Structure 1
Amino acid sequence: MFPEEKQMTTATAESATPDSPADLEHSQAWAHGATPRRFAIAVVVLASIGLVASFALMLERIAVLVDPNHVPSCSFNALVSCTEAMSSAQGALFGFPNPLIGVMAFPVVVAAGAALLGGARLARWYWAGLQVGVILALVFVHFLIYTSLYQLGALCPYCMAVWAVTIPLFVMVTQRNLRLLPRDASSGWARAGRWLQAYQAPVLAAWFLLIAALAVVQFWDFFIALVA
């Protein structure tokens, strides 16, 4: 090969090579819909916990309807209790018990995670739909957190389990979609996704600590009475 041809070939190869590992990851994952195995495992585990909690709360709701004197297994004292949530208007915001939403929605997420674990490549429209779903779930969960803290004055353990899995599911799906749905790895959305991926543990820790702090402040008198 002549020197000129070799130089031209080298230049062509370099121009076809992504500028950084992030670009390479983005281009390969975008083209093939690749999803890390640990991501799929986390989705299955978190959504399964949400499903179990929703199903358990639904069973308690049915038990109360059958026997109004039934004491739910998740009611321990004046603060940690499911009774207030189940008997309130907020507990059936759309005309049916809220846990039914989780019973219907979480299996879809479990199935998606299981498919990813098996090596399936989910379409972009599916990821977009899942993003809409986790956004709506996040908004709904924070509405329920607000009502629990400032209106009902009680914390439902099964509800809190659903809160605890919905927030990380939102963060995980969002960072994945921000990184991989844009075609351009250098776009602002993709950079934001990579930042969220790198710092998702501190973000989640700060998020949960804020909710816990709000609960402690709101129920401070109850906690003081426990130790007094």
Structure 2
Amino acid sequence: MLSRTDPAAGETGADPGGRHAPGRSTAWSLLVAGLIGLVASATLLIEKVELLKDPGYTPTCSINPVLSCGSIMKTWQAELLGFPNPVIGVVGFAVVTTTGASLLAGAVLRGWYWWGLLIGAAAGVLLVHWLILQSLYRIGALCPYCMVVWVVTMTIFVAAVTSLRRALRVPPSIIQYAPSLLVAWTLVVAALIAVRFWDYWSTLV
């Protein structure tokens, strides 16, 4: 028997069997964010393969001295675990996409699955912030596809927290303003980027 869910609020319910049924808004967030992240990660992986085959290859996301995927792909930070970081994204976002699609199809997932998703999303958030710091203050370049991954990773994390709001005892006020907090985070990162590379941006005005 499915637990009662409030679709409008994206609230997660739970039945005695430990199953969780989030609202459709959460399911859609996971599906869309997962798909976008999957496409971005797959594109980055393809570009990395091309660069390995031809060191002189210029990735399509290398647009100018600042927006330069090629510069980042050649650093050790781009292979933190010994293989290209996009591999992590392809696997992780494939799981998220499948989760979102399954939920929209009517699947009800057990609590342990949601906790696993939350832990994975939290690890992704930590990695994203480390990569942001490395890109801005160590490498000195940005990857457009990577920035897309940053945003969707945060979106997935928010969706996972929303799904476990009761278990985590997250105040309703925080859940209510979650979209605004996500926008605020994006604006803060954009501001850091603007300040860090202002010398270059100012030449374009």
Give TM-score, length-normalised by structure 2: 0.90
Aligned-residue offset at 1:196: 2.4
RCO greater where, 1 or 2, for CA within 8 Å and sep 6 or more?
A: 2
1:134-167 per-residue CA deviation (whole Å, 9 max, x = no partner) reads: 0000000110111011011111011111001001
User: Residue 68 of structure 2 aligns to which amino acid in structure 1?
Assistant: S
Does 1:213 pair with 2:203? no
Following superposition, the deviation at residue 171 of structure 1 comes to: 1.1
Q: Which has the higher helix share?
A: 1
Residue 30 (1) aligns with residue 14 (2): yes
- Which residue of 2 is the match for residue 137 of structure 1? 124
Counterpart of 2:56? 69
Amino acid at match of 2:123: L
Residue aligning to 1:128? 115
1:190 aligns with 2:169: yes
Which ranges in structure 2 are unaligned for 5 or more consecutive residues? 1-5
Q: Is the 8 A contact 1:176 1:197 kept in 2?
A: no
- Work out the number of aligned pairs and report it: 194
Q: Deviations over 1:183-215 (max 9, x none)?
A: xxxxxx4342x2222001210111111111111
Q: Secondary structure at the match of 2:56?
A: coil
Determine helix, strand or coil for the equivalent of 2:169. helix
Percent sequence identity over aligned pairs:
43
Distance 1:68 1:161, change over 3 A: same
How far did residue 68 of structure 1 move?
1.1
1:226 Cα deviation from its structure 2 partner:
1.3
- Listed one character per residue, the Cα deviations across residues 97-129 of structure 1 (whole Å, up to 9, x for unaligned) are 000101111111111111111111100000111
Which residues of structure 1 form unaligned runs of 5+? 1-20, 183-188
**Which amino acid is the alignment partner of residue 91 of structure 2?**
M
Note if 1:200 corresponds to 2:178: yes
* Length-normalised TM-score, structure 1: 0.81
Contact residue 81 and residue 154 of structure 1 kept, 8 A = yes
